[in-house]
Structure 1
Amino acid sequence: MITLAKTEFPLITHNLSLDLVNTEIISYDKRHDHIHSEEDLMKWLDKMGEAAPFLNRSALKKVQEDFSNVSQKILQFRSVLREQFEDIAEGGEPAPSFVSFLQDQIAAAPFTYKIIDDKLARIPAGNIDDAILSLIAYDALWLIHTKEIKQLKRCANEKCILLFLDKTGRRKWCSMKICGNRQKVSRHQKKTNK
């Protein structure tokens, strides 16, 4: 049986694709990867299973059986997503080649549908690595299709690499708990030290 500890990923978007990209952070001026072991990847997939019912215990067991292959593909996919998303966050448009890349990934594990817990769930058919990437690619393609990708922003903290969707048009920080609060504390300290 798979038992997983509570995760500490900065899940600030509730989008599989963006939350995967945000598994890399900057802390103490160094880039840190929250997915650097089998346990880390399993924790992340387990957490993502809250939004994607396909990522259940059975799927996680298959990941463990082919961990090296699955983890390598997920991390390569994350790298492509980060490059594309950062370009879009800087004002670029989704490249047609990126859209084709996402569509090809979905085609490698197309979806069937099941009702799970009174919700219609997407269930990718195919190898476990292709199935996971298909779910993530669908999420990214959905952001492009719905134009929500135009709300993609980078945190205003120049030492932060987290990305988020600014649905209000006023958001500056990845999270008030992470960078927003740090900025408030820093401004307060500067005022009180004068």
Structure 2
Amino acid sequence: MNELPNITNNIALNFINSQLFRNGKLIELIDSLSSLENWTEQPLMDDLEYNTQLSIFNTCLECTDSLDDIIELRDKLYLLLTAISRQEEEISTLQKVIEDSLLAHPIRLVFVDTIPLYVPVDSGVAGIKCLIHFSLAKLVESGDINKLSSCANKDCPLLFINQTGRRKWCSMKICGNRHKVERFENKHKKHINWIKQEQE
């Protein structure tokens, strides 16, 4: 089972980052409801809010019997966020999408002891839409949406928050180290070719 890369601490971005490019092919990581359920059971260390959202997402999945609407949501948001990262689309477009979605699929506040939690009013796909759009609203509120970037690997579809402005890769594990290995191998080949030429 392919696991989602989870390269951010935003549940919407990690959900959207659910395709990878491998061996010349785009690999779908959400290939079943069970793969999505498996993702919701991968908490982040020391991130209570994120892990709570994952738990709520898991609960919404219990009332879902089809992936079609979930994949459609993912694909639409991926296209929009990619366009925003390339400055081909305004953030105000995303804000309108969030407003319309949360109007149709509202969220409510509940207290667990003294901790306020935001929980979708609806369950199933409607609850998932609410949760994802609320998570995107957090990106807008924090200003992190302005730091949204695409990976320097032109084949990589992953998006990430470029906090420093200097980050090039979605992650070192997925693309950064691969680039370093390829660069080393190319230099090594050039060196070997130069030696051969000198010996001729």
TM-score using structure 2 length: 0.81
Determine the C-alpha separation between the residues in 2 that align with 1:159 and 1:92.
19
**Structure 2 residue 52 is the aligned partner of structure 1 residue 53:** yes
RMSD over aligned CA atoms reads 2.5
Question: Which residue of structure 2 lines up, in the alignment, with residue 66 of structure 1?
Answer: 64
Contact 1:84 1:94 in 2 (8 A): no
Following superposition, the deviation at residue 65 of structure 1 comes to 4.2
Determine the C-alpha separation between the residues in 2 that align with 1:117 and 1:171.
40
Listed as ranges, the matches of 1:40-189 within 5 Å are 40-47=35-42, 51-53=50-52, 55-56=54-55, 60=58, 63-68=61-66, 71-94=67-90, 96-116=92-112, 119-189=115-185
Following superposition, the deviation at residue 93 of structure 1 comes to 4.1
Counterpart AA for 1:134:
C
Identity %: 30
- Rg bigger for which structure? 2
| Equivalent in 3, 7, 29 of residue 24 of structure 2 | 29
The number of residue pairs the alignment matches comes to 186
Moved more, 101-110 or 82-91: 101-110
Moved more, 169-178 or 109-118: 109-118
Contact 2:62 2:124 in 1 (8 A): no
Contact 2:63 2:124 in 1 (8 A): no
Following superposition, the deviation at residue 192 of structure 1 comes to 2.3
* Structure 1 portions without partners, runs of 5+: none
* Structure 2 portions without partners, runs of 5+: 192-200
Moved more, 14-23 or 113-122: 113-122
